[in-house]
Structure 1
Amino acid sequence: MVRASHAAAIVLLAATSIAQVGAQAADAPACRGTIYLTFDTGSQSQAELIADTLRRHHIQATFFLANEKTVRGDWSLDPSWADFWKARVAEGHAFGTHTFDHVYFQRDEADGRIVVKPQFGAHAGQRLTWTQQQYCDELRRVDTRFQQLTGRHLDPIFRTPGGHSSPNILAAARACGYRHVGWAPAGFSGDETSSDTFPNALLLKRALDKLKDGDIFMAHMGIWSRKDPWMPANLEPLITGLEHKGFCFATLKAHPDYRAH
């Protein structure tokens, strides 16, 4: 008899818990759309702020990685950043390559080659003419380093520095399994612009007014040149404002243009 009563109590408790979960799910606001937050490496001055903000809001984002000079005096893909990137992997974020030496596109050549200009590395500031295989190798350098740091491969996506792509670059990337990711017109954070001409309040309002379902948003993990940095002032209000408008967030692995890839 005691056992029967105990079993009945367990069943009642389980039913109550299920009902509570169901009520909470019913109370939760439905997503009116999805925004895909993406962050490119930079000076890394905002790296911890980004991580803390995403964690508090339970948001998973997508990071595009290059080996860039940081405010700590090291490089963003040095072993000194291994714990940071491992933590982001554990949180379920997505990761793409941004070219190892932050290589800017200059122009396409008629024979399929690509004229580029690395910002960092042994050939920083030099104009180089690469074959498509060399460009592919540059994309893969990030994957190799990321695997060394975290034990995980990158997702098969990339973003060129500045977002400038070309037919030859896209062909090179396709040959080694990568798809290019840009951003929506309203998804440009403006963190590279002059803070005198584009103050943070203006950039925040523009994003909140114009971002729509399916848009990819891009910001950097720290910019050397902007006098009034975008990130500390705008990241939290941007996320909160979008949440209040009913938006949810996801990595590019859930984006309709990239999830099958």
Structure 2
Amino acid sequence: MATGVAPAAATSCAKPVYLTFDTGHMGIAPLVADVLQRQKIQVTFFLADERTQDGGSSLDDTQAAWWKARAAEGHAFGSHTMSHLRWLADRPGGRFEMRPDAGPHAGKRVTVDTATYCAEIAAPAERFKAITGRVMLPLYRAPGGKTSPKLLQAASSCGWTHVGWSDAGFLGDELPSDRHPNASLLKQALARIQPGDILLAHLGIWSRQDPWAPTVLEPLIEGLKARGLCFATLREHPRYGAAR
């Protein structure tokens, strides 16, 4: 599957880390974009059609200009399932018990087969192409990182490779602010992240009262650069880049 994404200019990145963002309420998306532009780095976004602060959803027409701009900047993109569909359990007959966080069945338990799950993964790619004219990487991230071997096999059968994140790359932006203040999250990340790590953040978390970006994001990028690390998208990842 071709990416259709404008490639970055060739740069030397001897000690890469891979910053990734999952969609969320999109409230901090403009701030994230400002930081990425200012720091001149590229990241990978995983897209789902989630509820947004303005009453819409993250892949609706009001967000289209934001996604077009990120695609033009050369970022990489993968799927996060259309309805932010969380795996709960495997069921007999190759079926899966799941719970969507968005869409008409949000919050309800549903049972899906492989074809339905594949369609859920593919739907953000179809929407992204309609918005930008570009094609996603054949990569997806299960909401919450919840999977099973059978679920991963189902996704693989229709051409999708799952991407999680490194232990040190869990940046904590979805944790409660009172127990995990931004200063603590930044200190921990700067101490633990190593070359090759995949980092996880979001474009807005409903439950976090003290927004993670840009308070942590820019100092994190600057701090990792000061340690000699650089930033690359999953197009350049030694394992996931080969999935193209």
TM-score range, shorter chain: over 0.9
- 1 or 2, which has the higher helix percentage? 1
Q: Which residue of 2 aligns with 1:55?
A: 37
Amino acid in the other structure paired with 2:150: N
TM-score w.r.t. the length of structure 1 is: 0.87
Q: Cα–Cα, structure 1 residues 31 and 78, in superposed 2: closer, same or farther, change >3 Å?
A: closer
Aligned partners of 1:114, 1:168: CA distance in 2, in Å?
9
Q: Which residue of 1 aligns with 2:116?
A: 134
Structure 1 residue 111: deviation in Å?
Answer: 2.4
1:216 pairs with 163, 175, 198, which one? 198
Contact kept, 8 Å, 2:182 with 2:215, in 1: the verdict is: yes
Structure 1 residue 113: deviation in Å?
Answer: 0.9
Aligned partners of 1:105, 1:53: CA distance in 2, in Å?
33
Query: Unmatched 5+ residue regions in structure 2?
Result: 1-10
Aligned partners of 2:223, 2:241: CA distance in 1, in Å?
27
SS in 1 for 2:119: helix
2:21 pairs with 39, 51, 75, which one? 39
2:175 pairs with 173, 193, 202, which one? 193
Structure 1 residue 110: deviation in Å?
Answer: 3.4
SS in 1 for 2:45: strand
User: What are the within-5 Å matches in structure 2 for residues 139-158 of structure 1?
Assistant: 139-158=121-140
Larger relative contact order (CA 8 Å, sep ≥ 6): 2
SS in 2 for 1:48: helix
Structure 1 residue 32: deviation in Å?
Answer: 5.3
Contact kept, 8 Å, 2:79 with 2:124, in 1: the verdict is: yes
Contact kept, 8 Å, 1:189 with 1:217, in 2: the verdict is: yes
User: What are the within-5 Å matches in structure 2 for residues 69-80 of structure 1?
Assistant: 69-80=51-62
Q: Rg bigger for which structure?
A: 1
User: What are the within-5 Å matches in structure 2 for residues 1-261 of structure 1?
Assistant: 31=13, 33-261=15-243
Number of equivalent positions: 233
Contact kept, 8 Å, 1:67 with 1:76, in 2: the verdict is: yes
Moved >4 Å (runs of 4+) = none
Amino acid in the other structure paired with 2:135: H
Question: Cα deviations across residues 127-186 of structure 1 (Å, max 9, x unaligned)?
Answer: 111111110011111111111111112110000111111112211111111100100001
Structure 1 residue 119: deviation in Å?
Answer: 0.8
Percent of pairs identical after alignment? 53
Contact kept, 8 Å, 1:38 with 1:219, in 2: the verdict is: yes
Amino acid in the other structure paired with 2:189: A
Contact kept, 8 Å, 1:102 with 1:119, in 2: the verdict is: yes
TM-score w.r.t. the length of structure 2 is: 0.92
SS in 1 for 2:200: strand
Contact kept, 8 Å, 1:132 with 1:168, in 2: the verdict is: no
Tell me how large the CA RMSD over aligned residues is: 1.3
Contact kept, 8 Å, 1:66 with 1:98, in 2: the verdict is: yes
